[in-house]
Amino acid sequence: MTGLRFLGFDLGASTPDANTIRLFCEKLTQAGALEVVFADFDWQLKERGYLAMGGQIVDATLVAAPKQRNTAPEKEAIKAGKTANEIWPDEPARAAQKDTDARWTLKLRKGKALSERQAGYRHRHPELLL
C-alpha cells in the first residue's frame, strides 16, 4: 500500500501489471533512456529528503537457511572473518555452497538451546512461563 501511494496510485485506480512494467523497462533500455530515468528518480528522492544507498536493506525478512554442519575449527575460522575460499581452498564446490556471512538470531525467543533439565522444567510447569 505504501509503495502504491509513493508512486501516486490508489486502490481505485488501474495499475500496470508486472509484464507491462517489464516491457516498458525494455523499451527504455533499447532507447538508452533508462539511466536518465533512474538519475531523475534519484534526484527527486533527494529533493524530498530521501537518500537511497547501494546495498541498503529495505525488507529484513527472516528466512530459514539450511544447516551448515561445520566442524569446530571451521566455525572458529568463520567467526574470525575468513572467507569460504580461505577455509576450504582445496574444495571450491564446498566453498561455493557455504554462507560465511550468515549469523544466528532469535525470533520470538526461538532458536535458543536448552539443557535437558530446562526443557523438562518447562514441560512440567508451563504456567510459570510468560
Q: Which of 1-10, 15-24, 79-88, 112-121 has the lowest mean pLDDT?
A: 112-121
pTM of the model: 0.36
- Using the predicted structure, report yes or no on whether residue 84 has a pLDDT greater than 80: yes
Over range 42-69, report the average pLDDT.
Answer: 72
Mean pLDDT of the residues in the chain:
75
Give the pLDDT confidence score for residue 53 in this predicted structure: 67
Calpha distance 114→122 (Å, rounded): 10
The alpha carbon dihedral of 39, 43, 45, 46 has a sign of positive
Distance in angstroms (rounded) separating the CA atoms of residues 65 and 102: 9
Residues of the chain above pLDDT 70, percent = 62
Measuring CA to CA, how many Å separate 95 from each of 29, 90, 91, 103, 114? 36, 9, 6, 17, 31
In angstroms, rounded to a whole number, what is the distance separating the alpha carbons of residues 33 and 24? 11
Q: Which three cell numbers stand for residue 120?
A: 523438562
Question: Does residue 102 have a pLDDT over 80?
Answer: no
Q: Who's near 45: CB < 8 A, 6+ residues apart?
A: 51, 52
The pLDDT of residue 56: 59
Would you say residue 129 has pLDDT above 70? no
- Residue 44 has a pLDDT of 84
